[in-house]
Amino acid sequence: MRQFYFWVLFIFWIMSAAVPPLVLAQKRSGADKIYLKKSITLTKVLDKIAADYQIIFNYDTDLLAGKFLTEDITESYARNPDPLLKRLLDPYRIKFSRKNNVYILFQDQADAGKISRQSSVLPASATDLSENKTWKLKGRVFSQKGEELAGITVLLKNSQKGSVSKSTGDFFMDVPARPGTLQFSSVGFESKDIAFLNESELVITLIEDTRLLNEIIVTGYAKENRRQVTGAVFTANVEQLSVVVSTNIEQQLQGKVPGLTLITNGQPGTSSQVRVRGFGSFGGNQPLYIVDGVPTQNIQFINPGDIESFTVLKDAASASVYGARAAAGVIVLTTKKGKRSQNKLAVSYEGIYGLTYPGKGQSVLSPQQQADWSWQARKNDIFQTGGTVGPGSFNGIANGQYGSGQNPVLPDYLLVGNQTGLSASQVNLDLEKSKYNTDPAISPLYLVIPSNREGTNWYQAISRKAALTRHALGFSGGSKMSSFYIGLGYQKQEGIILSSIQERYTFRINTEFNIAKKIRFGENIQLSYLSTTGQQGSSGSFLGNSLNNNPSVSSEENDILATYRMAPIIPVYNSFGGYAGTAAPGFSNPRNPVASRISAGHNRSNTVYGFGNVYTEIDLLPNTVGRSSIGGIYFNNYNQSQSRATYENSENLANFSYAEASGYGLAWTFTNTAEFKKNFGRNQIMILTGMEALNTGAGRNINGSGINPFSTDPDYLTLGSTTSGSTRHVNSTSTRGNNFYSLFAQTRYIYDDKYIVTAVVRRDGSSQFGKDYRFGIFPAFSAGWRLSAEEFLKRSTWISDLKLRVGYGKMGNSTFLSSTNQYSLFSSNAANGYDLGATNTGVVPGYYNSQIGNPKAKWETSETLNLGVDFSAFKNKLEIVLDFWRKNTHDLLYQLPIPGVVGTRASAPFVNIASMRNQGIDLLISNKGKLAGDIRYEVTGVGSFLHNRIISIAPLVPYFAAGGTRLGTPVVRNQPGHALSSFYGYQVQGLFSSKEEVATAAVQTGAAPGRFRFKDLNNDGKIDDSDRTFLGSPIPPFTGSLTFSIKYKGVDLNTSLYTSLGNQIFNNQRWFSDFYPSFTGAAVSTRVLDSWLPTHTSTSVPIFESAANFSTNTQSNSYYVENGNYLRMQYLNLGYTFNEKLLKKISVKMLRVSVSATNLFTLTKYSGLDPAVGGFSDAVFGVDVGNYPVGRGYSLNLKVGF
């Protein structure tokens, strides 16, 4: 907590450096006046006004050529430059229009001939340019995307010559026949100087000014001017995100958005755990996604190349318009649209081919080392009992695989029939082959398993170089009355673990038509097909995982963890090509992970998605637009899975099992809004009202399973081919989804583009709650003050924009709650029947209470307070966005277990029992500019500070534990005063060094030299439950990134570093890999080489023993808790964009090739595969049981525009 407030004060101190210049500016402003002489050209006057008022003039240079002031002017500075401009321009009948801070000058044709000839005469000292020799110069201006740019101002440097590009991007100009420089400028693009010598035609590409292009952003049901936003809103730059080579949209956001944390994994087809400003619930912390106005919890089916904008709403002031579903934040996506009056078809292509490498895995023992330490375990057992090593001391170790002498001897064969630990001279393979059998239905199993003396690297055996292929095509165009965009996409991603693959096919069409002068009709439609193979864990709901549990976090029976449980002496295959495994006695019970992964290659899931909406917009009245939209998501899924009968493991599966499932679902949303906007004088007002009805997803599912089909050939496998009878099961389920009905309103008032007030209210009703608690009201209020628009700052030459923001509001959450929670449910089965008539001929079916209902459950409610500063300087080259925020959530829902003494089989309901607080600081600092010549750079730092605490739990419930593992107690405790999912157990003080130390220490079960010495926290002289304590939190107090790009002409280099600091990880893999007795023979980590010995006491690794013990491996303790800090290079991208002149010759607008490296390195002290560890749910996460890691990837990328 002290650190949190330290950082608050530190950032305030940094920001205070900006205060003195502002005060000085205020002191000067009172007496300033404008002095203008009529000998000054209008061009110079407008330049001065533009600098003083921080505005932009856009005009054809010929319009002002040779024009001077018609009178001397002396005026005091006014808030608004419009009266002064009118006075300057009226004599020439030049008019202007204003949009925000951009003034466009123009002249009607009828007025052009009425200008006083006298007023346009040049002074005698001026040079008559018409006498100079000139020649025609023409050119065309494009954006980085290859689009023609209209309205670009083109000026001849050090002259009054100029032009403006037409709708085709073309411009024409008479220039002197000598070297010169053209200046290109426009709102939304960085200015550019181009030198010319003898060229007659130029092709120019302008770089987008991302800050100005983001000026209009989509924040919900409406679009807003960024300068007028008063909530905590962040818009990610899609062009910058596209540099990140990733397989889904979410992964591109990591480290790019202040306040957003993301935990991802390398498994194809799984979503990331995305959190906006912490964890406000025990479940349901997944943000709400809005795609083209349609809500969804799942965006895995969307092609990243179709995304146009990405906006994150982080506080109630910006997100409460979504009310009951906004507590975890809202992420608003819009997809690409065509441009009206484009007239030409624009075509784009993006291709990616890459390889991902799995890494080496963890360091494991060699077969000889494992055998030696098996012997050492027996020696340590004897040491602890005070015995002496003798001739028979090593009998029975590993079932005799290594003999029984004073030193272990590696065998040549681990198993031949029922014999173990054989040498090559004892085995006749030709003879054994005739006995070999893997089908127990024919005869008893007879296996021949050789040893691998060199050692099997099981992680490398199940991992591979994985290919990534992506192709995306885009077509767009439009006329004056319509626009369209069509996107086609294909992606195939192989996982770094065998058999894991996902393929995605996408088709998108977005169109809009004017069906009448004031009526527009359009649609945004996405069709997707996803095929996933060999997934580890569950993919979650097809309509979205509201809990956002990490599907790649499996139970301990997963194939990655098995690679650290399998003895390295066991080979992958036996002597005759079948699988080898722990059927060879002495090596516990892990299964062969290669066999498991090959079998998983037959587990497939195929899903078709339809997503989108159709809408109508009507200009109802002046300044009023009505919009009606109906949309949703439909899916149809089919999946099949199988488990082969195994023979190679110590715990075999006797039957081949097969299962199929199919289902469909539909979630829909119907939205109607009316938006009124009006400017009058210095006042601007916006009023938005709306109603919305939706269903979160209704559908049906049918599944069946059976065993031992007559053929295991995948082409002939069906449920009908499995054994008939009681082993064949068929079941079906249905769901009606949750219904919502909502009314909402939002209003914004702006005075003089300085003072901004916004208010929002939403009333939501949901079928998830009982009738007395069904409706909730979620209001919000925010205000902003644009200091940069004040007179005392307007003339500042270095401040581009400065705005203060404050916001407060409420949001709701019920995402994970079933609509049946309010009801008590009853079920029936044969065990609940009773022979009421005592006829002994039949029973009457009985019913039992299967769920206890809670009709008094109500919304989880989050209250947020946000204080923010938006600051930009030096013509937007420096930008700082700073937010201090707090979010208090109360009435948290949780499903407490029912005590066994109640005597019911019913499941418990969700009840409102707790409250939680999150608070933090979001910071973004960005700077861009030129280093020298054509070398441009941009560097952006993002930092997020987070402090999470559970504030209270219901009376008589001091805490609730979670995270059951093989350890004796749960490893997670959720308790007031501590962070969510905090690790709990004994604090290891060190290792007992001697029996004398044991005798003087607190009484501890199993205490002995070399074993853990737990800390006696209450100093009562004994170690028991009261000495357990909190060992760490998986929530990082700080996450941040540093992104850097540098460009020189067509070459660009982009890189990003991401860090997570201050969290811990519970490495549950250590229970298997570090302790011999956890599963005898399974300890394979090289950490055991540093184990305590009487001759080696300076270590933290406990003594290596054969028996489980309270003081070693049976209790949750700090030995398993590791530092989770890491620094990762997310990507390094080197690209080249070809010269426009060259491309024009082959009718190509844009061509960029690049090479990328992702996850190039990770600096961490964590001993697991990947320090980015998620979890089953937010109430228990950060526990590593063999999670799917991300790999290091390399790719070749191509972008083309026609």
pLDDT in tens, 616-644: 999 988 889 999 999 999 999 999 999 99
Contact 1012, 900 (CB under 8 A): no
Report for 11-25, 142-156, 842-856, 1124-1138: range of highest mean pLDDT: 1124-1138
Name which residue leads in pLDDT, 178 or 377: 377
> Quick one: residue 729, left, alpha or beta (phi over 0 = left, psi -120 to 50 = alpha)?
beta
Q: Checking DSSP bridges between strand 102-106 and strand 56-58, what pairing results, if any?
A: parallel
The continuous run of DSSP H or E covering 433 comes out as helix 429-435
pLDDT (0 to 100) of residue 82: 83
**What kind of architecture, by CATH, is found in domain 133-208?**
Sandwich (2.60)
On average, the pLDDT of the chain sits at: 86
Task: Using the CB atoms, write b or e for 1182-1199: b if 16+ within 10 Å.
Answer: bbbbbbbbbbbbbbebeb
pLDDT (0 to 100) of residue 35: 72
> Would you state the structure tokens that stand for residue 833, as one six-digit string?
């029947």
Confidence of residue 74 (pLDDT cuts 50, 70, 90): confident
Name which residue leads in pLDDT, 1082 or 1053: 1053
pLDDT (0 to 100) of residue 126: 35
Report the pLDDT averaged over residues 506-512.
96
**Among 107, 43, 184, CA closest to 173:** 184
Contact 531, 539 (CB under 8 A): no
Question: Nearest 10 degrees: CA dihedral of 100, 106, 110, 116?
Answer: 120
Chain segment 366-410, per-residue pLDDT in tens:
999 999 999 999 999 999 999 999 888 999 888 899 999 999 999
Q: Per-residue DSSP letters for 3-45?
A: HHHHHHHHHHHHHGGGHHHHHHHHHHHTT-EEEE-TTSBHHHH
Domains 133-208 and 211-345 share a fold: no
CATH of 211-345, one of 2.170.130.10, 3.10.310.30, 3.40.50.1220, 3.40.50.2300: 2.170.130.10
* DSSP E strand stretches across 581-656: 604-621, 624-643
Q: With a cut of 90, say whether residue 1028 has pLDDT above it.
A: yes
> Quick one: residue 329, left, alpha or beta (phi over 0 = left, psi -120 to 50 = alpha)?
left
Contact 860, 812 (CB under 8 A): yes
Confidence of residue 756 (pLDDT cuts 50, 70, 90): very high
**What kind of architecture, by CATH, is found in domain 32-120?**
3-Layer(bab) Sandwich (3.55)
Confidence of residue 1036 (pLDDT cuts 50, 70, 90): very high
pLDDT (0 to 100) of residue 838: 63
pLDDT (0 to 100) of residue 545: 40
What type of residue is 449? I
Range with the poorest average pLDDT among 38-52, 532-546, 1085-1099, 1142-1156 = 532-546
pLDDT (0 to 100) of residue 770: 92
Q: With a cut of 50, say whether residue 738 has pLDDT above it.
A: yes
% of the chain with per-residue pLDDT over 90? 57
pLDDT (0 to 100) of residue 1081: 66
Report the pLDDT averaged over residues 1146-1154.
91
CA distance 1106 to 1076: 6
> Would you state the structure tokens that stand for residue 729, as one six-digit string?
């099961």
Task: Using the CB atoms, write b or e for 76-90: b if 16+ within 10 Å.
Answer: ebeeebeebbeebbe
Q: With a cut of 60, say whether residue 1186 has pLDDT above it.
A: yes
Q: With a cut of 60, say whether residue 944 has pLDDT above it.
A: yes
Question: Nearest 10 degrees: CA dihedral of 843, 844, 850, 854?
Answer: -160
Name which residue leads in pLDDT, 501 or 158: 501
pLDDT (0 to 100) of residue 715: 85
Angle between helices 82-89 and 42-53 (to 10 degrees): 180
Chain segment 441-481, per-residue pLDDT in tens:
899 999 999 999 999 999 999 999 999 999 999 999 988 88
Apex 601 CA angle, 600 and 603, nearest 5: 65
Place of tokens 């991992």: 463
pLDDT (0 to 100) of residue 9: 41
Range with the poorest average pLDDT among 684-693, 968-977, 1121-1130 = 968-977
Q: With a cut of 70, say whether residue 1062 has pLDDT above it.
A: yes
- Domain ranges (residues) in the chain: 32-120, 133-208, 211-345
Report the pLDDT averaged over residues 109-116.
47
> Would you state the structure tokens that stand for residue 108, as one six-digit string?
């009607």
pTM for the full model?
A: 0.82
Chain segment 852-904, per-residue pLDDT in tens:
999 999 999 999 999 999 999 988 899 999 999 999 999 999 988 777 666 67
Range with the poorest average pLDDT among 263-267, 414-418, 512-516, 1021-1025 = 263-267
CA distance 1186 to 561: 5
pLDDT (0 to 100) of residue 14: 40
Q: With a cut of 50, say whether residue 553 has pLDDT above it.
A: no
3-state helix vs strand vs coil in the chain, percent to 5: 15, 45, 40
Chain segment 263-322, per-residue pLDDT in tens:
888 889 888 889 999 998 988 888 999 999 999 988 889 999 999 989 999 999 999 999
Contact 526, 520 (CB under 8 A): no
Contact 756, 786 (CB under 8 A): yes
pLDDT (0 to 100) of residue 210: 55
**Among 336, 349, 347, CA closest to 310:** 336
Range with the poorest average pLDDT among 169-178, 510-519, 743-752 = 169-178
pLDDT (0 to 100) of residue 348: 94
% of the chain with per-residue pLDDT over 70? 89
pLDDT (0 to 100) of residue 146: 66
**Among 809, 811, 834, 722, CA closest to 326:** 811
245 DSSP 8-state letter: -
Name which residue leads in pLDDT, 125 or 502: 502
Chain segment 780-832, per-residue pLDDT in tens:
999 999 998 888 887 777 888 999 999 999 999 988 888 888 989 888 765 56
Confidence of residue 23 (pLDDT cuts 50, 70, 90): very low
* DSSP E strand stretches across 934-1022: 935-953, 960-962, 972-974, 982-985, 988-991, 1012-1014
> Would you state the structure tokens that stand for residue 269, as one six-digit string?
């087809």
pLDDT (0 to 100) of residue 528: 97
Work out the end-to-end distance of the chain between its first and last CA atoms, rounded to an integer number of angstroms: 56
CA distance 631 to 636: 17
Coil, strand or helix: which one is 925?
strand
892 bridge partner residues: 914
pLDDT (0 to 100) of residue 87: 84
CA distance 1070 to 1012: 15
Q: With a cut of 50, say whether residue 131 has pLDDT above it.
A: no
Chain segment 311-369, per-residue pLDDT in tens:
999 999 999 999 888 999 999 999 999 988 777 899 999 999 999 999 999 999 999 99
